[in-house]
Amino acid sequence: MKICAIICEYNPFHNGHLYQLQEAKRRSGADALLCIMSGNFVQRGEAAIMDKYTRAKHAVLAGADAVVELPTVFATSNAELFAKGGIKLLSSIPAVTTLCFGAEKENKNAFLQAATLLNNEPKEVSDAIKALVKTGVSYAKARAIAYQDLLDNELINSPNNILGIEYTRALLAMQSGVEILPIQRVGGGYKENELQQEFSSATAIRSAIENGTPIDKQLPAFVEKDLPKRLCERLETLEKYALLSKNRADIAKTCDCTEGLENAVQKTAESGEPLVETLTSARYTASRIRRIALQNLLNIEENLIRDCLQSPLYLRVLAVKKERSDVLSALGESDYPIIARAHDENCLLGAAKRSFERDTFAEKTYSLLYPQKTNKNIFI
């Protein structure tokens, strides 16, 4: 069996995602599609607008054969760690031969060249990045500037392309034989806030839901019927409580909470001012602030993330097509145990056990934000 994997969030699943799934199956020639999907919290440092089981169901109804959860420790991390976590899981499954991802351009060689260069970063580039960061520029922007004469500007600046490069870097670093399959995005860009005629970005769709704007024809019907009437507004309250309940040394253990940011985030929480609006700057992006606050709430420390990257983990199945027991059998060939039923997690040890505990805590925290009952039946 040959499996094509897609690392995703589906927040929510929209027409562009449907197009990618269809093209991934057609172009890869794979026997099955596997989605490695974020759980109840996503890489932007926000709560997903629907729970992970509902979003996994949508993926299967759209054509995926199985969905496994990207552990929360990775799903809520920066692009590099998000990508490394996803690649770690798919690389444990012998049947996975292809990784498909959305991109602004479909130039496979460009991604391979960029990833190779970044994995062997020239000293002058490293020095330039450090110098730019010292001036108050964010690391992502500093890296884009430092590489502007070596790489296509769009390749290093677009969020989707950046993730694609990080996936490719992780595959090369692991000396994996998995092939990359970039597929050009259709419709609105990643950060596009306005709805398009048919293919809008997830950002624009979430904004429309928040503003009560009709979103006809933007989503498959089976997704639209499950949409919440409004987005959650209570996450920051929980995050501020967590920031106030910890000492600053413990907050500083959160990934990317450097340069004294623990002082700023706790001081802002004490003041009652909004965290993101107050702390976002040229140096610190809104997503970085959100991730720090969220990982602090979920008790995810950088050391745990690093341990998980170096340790055996698990494949938590969120959904599988009823008639594809062969895909479950293929997942069973992984080096990692399958978690599909209650108490399967009892076999986990070390970092895997601690990671699963963070998944469980994230699920309980999410239920405070969206208290509706979740259907956890994995067979779709």
For the segment 116-152, what is each residue's pLDDT rounded down to a tens digit?
999 999 999 999 999 999 898 888 889 989 998 898 8
Q: CA 22, CA 6: separation in Å to the nearest integer? A: 12
Structure confidence by residue, pLDDT tens digits, 296-355: 999 999 999 999 999 999 999 999 999 999 999 999 999 999 999 999 999 999 999 999
Nearest one of 79, 66, 70 to 31, comparing CA atoms:
66
Mean pLDDT on 56-75: 98
Q: Categorize the per-residue pLDDT at 81 as very low, low, confident or very high, splitting at 50, 70 and 90.
A: very high
The neighbour count for residue 133, using CB atoms within 10 Å, is 17
pLDDT bracket for residue 169 (50, 70, 90) = very high
Question: pTM of the prediction?
Answer: 0.95
Go through the chain and tell me how many residues it has: 380
Distance CA 87, CA 93 (A): 10
- The closest alpha carbon to 66, from 375, 329, 313, 312, belongs to 329
Ranges of beta strands (E only) in the chain are 3-8, 32-38, 66-70, 96-103, 179-184, 315-320, 338-339
First to last CA, the chain: 21
Mean pLDDT of 197-223: 86
